[in-house]
Amino acid sequence: MADKEQDLASLVAKIEQLEERQTITAKYLLGVKRQLNEFTDKLDKLQQRVEPQQEIEPSLTNSPTPDEGISNDITNFSDEKFKELRITQIFGVYGDMLLLEAYLAEDKSQEAPMTAQEFWRLYCNGQRDFTGINLAGADFGKNSPKDVNLSQANLSGAKLSGKWRGNNFSWANLCGANLCGVDLCLANLRWANLKGTDLSNAYLSSAKLNEANLDAAYLHQANLQFVELEKASLKKANLSKADLTSASLREVNLSEANLSQASLSETTNLSMANLSGANLKAANLRKAKLMRTNLSHANLSQVNLIGTDLEGANLKEANLQQALYNTTTIFPMGFDATQTGAYLIAPGVSLQNANLAGMNLKTLNLSGVNLQEANLAGADLGQVNLSGANLQAADLCRVNLSNANLTGADLQGANLSAANLSSANLTGANLQQAKLSAVNLCYTNLNGATLSEADLRGAKFERTNLEQANLKDAKLDGVMLNNANLNGAIMPDGTTQE
């Protein structure tokens, strides 16, 4: 039985080795079509470096197939030597030509750097192809070029601002560049080197960054919506507060990356990604796909995992303290979330003193939940069902409760300062001694609600229903109640409004 297991392991290793070879070859095949189209014009200039034309056809005819003549032992080859060997074996003389083109482009990128002024002069004269050009350290100002090809260009240490959307930076070297706030929406950055690059506040929506190197890159508050990052490397990158909504991060390497407070919700795909040791504290992963993702030793404290698919994920020694999950969250087989310190979000549960500040809880059913003295400051509770919930002394300042159902809820002593309660239903709710200064109560239903001793200074009342509400001793300084329905309401002085 042991021999069979060894044979199986050996077979798997060989398959993985072949897949790795195929992946390396595939990368270079992508550039073949463009290269071959250029060879016709350049062939005369290359005659002195290649065999005579009459030898090309026999060489192509007799060139080995992709897997012929390749030694099983590739350990003596560096990655670059192996790539060169594969290209030569697959394409024969044309493989040599491909390598020569690559060497020429590399030599070009190592020439004395072109200044930004010279670049713009050439651009204004109609040049758009800057393949392999050396622009290291150039400061491009806030100009916005269009349809520019900077593939394989050396832009290390360069400064780009303005709009560069849709331009081609594939295989470019942007290591250490300053791209703070730049607009690179729809740009092609496949296989680009962005190691240590500053992309803070950059706009990269729908950009293509497949297999790019973003190790240690600074992407704080970057807009990465709908971005393609499959198989990219972002080891130790800083993505704090970045927006990765609907991004494709399949098989991406985010080990030890900082994703605190990042938004990775809804259709974000992190399947088979490496997030080992990553910091995801307070990140929004609601409804995200993390199937077979490596989250070992990751910090998932206060993370929103509501509706998240974690099937087959590695959660070994991950920190899930105060993370949120519900009955639609899919955990790996055998994983017990109740032992992690995470909060189950469901009707009737006790979340007393829970820290849910800034969480996205919209549209959830939280009827009958005990949230006494809980921290919900800045949370999104739009359209949530909190009917009959206990919210005594809870911190709800700046919370969004628009269109929420709070019928019969107990909000005595709660802090709702600057909250949005527009179009919410608080019929029969208890808001005694609640702090409601600067709250939005437009179109809110407070029929029969108790607002005695509540602080309503600066509150907005527009078509608010206060019928039969109790406002005795409430503070209403600066409040306009002209358009509110006060039929049968008890006013601050104790009189009943007719």
Phi first, then psi: give them for residue 47, nearest 5 degrees.
-60, -35
Helix (H, G, I), strand (E, B) or coil at 38: helix
DSSP annotation of 287 reads T
Distance of CA 474 to the CA centre of its chain: 45
Q: What percent of the chain has pLDDT over 90?
A: 74
With cut-offs at 50, 70 and 90, classify the pLDDT of residue 52.
very low
Closest to 491 measured CA to CA, from 475, 472, 463, 478 = 472
Instruction: Supply the pTM of this predicted model.
Output: 0.72
Mean pLDDT of 413-440: 98
CA distance 162 to 141: 7
In this structure, of 53-57, 142-146, 179-183, 340-344, the range with the lowest mean pLDDT score is 53-57
The pLDDT value given to residue 203? 98
- What are the structure tokens assigned to 250, written together? 């399949």
Mean pLDDT of 134-139: 96
Closest to 396 measured CA to CA, from 301, 412, 405 = 412
Contact 248, 228 (CB under 8 A): yes
Examine the pLDDT at 38 and tell me if it is beyond 60: no
Mean pLDDT of 198-211: 98
CA distance 180 to 91: 42
The pLDDT value given to residue 444? 98
Mean pLDDT of 68-79: 41
Contact 309, 289 (CB under 8 A): yes
Contact 363, 343 (CB under 8 A): no
Contacts of 253 (CB under 8 A, 6+ apart): 232, 233, 234, 235, 273, 274
Q: Concatenated DSSP letters for 394-405?
A: -B-TT-B-TT-B
Q: What sign has the CA pseudo-torsion 23, 199, 302, 318? A: positive
Domains of the chain: 346-497 (2.160.20.80)
Phi first, then psi: give them for residue 450, nearest 5 degrees.
-100, 115
Closest to 340 measured CA to CA, from 324, 358, 356 = 324
Contact 32, 86 (CB under 8 A): no
| pLDDT tens sequence across 437-455 | 999 999 999 999 999 999 9
Helix (H, G, I), strand (E, B) or coil at 250: coil
206 residue type, one letter: S
CA distance 456 to 242: 36
| pLDDT tens sequence across 2-32 | 455 555 555 555 565 555 555 545 554 545 4
The pLDDT value given to residue 228? 96
The pLDDT value given to residue 197? 98
The average confidence (pLDDT) of the chain is 85
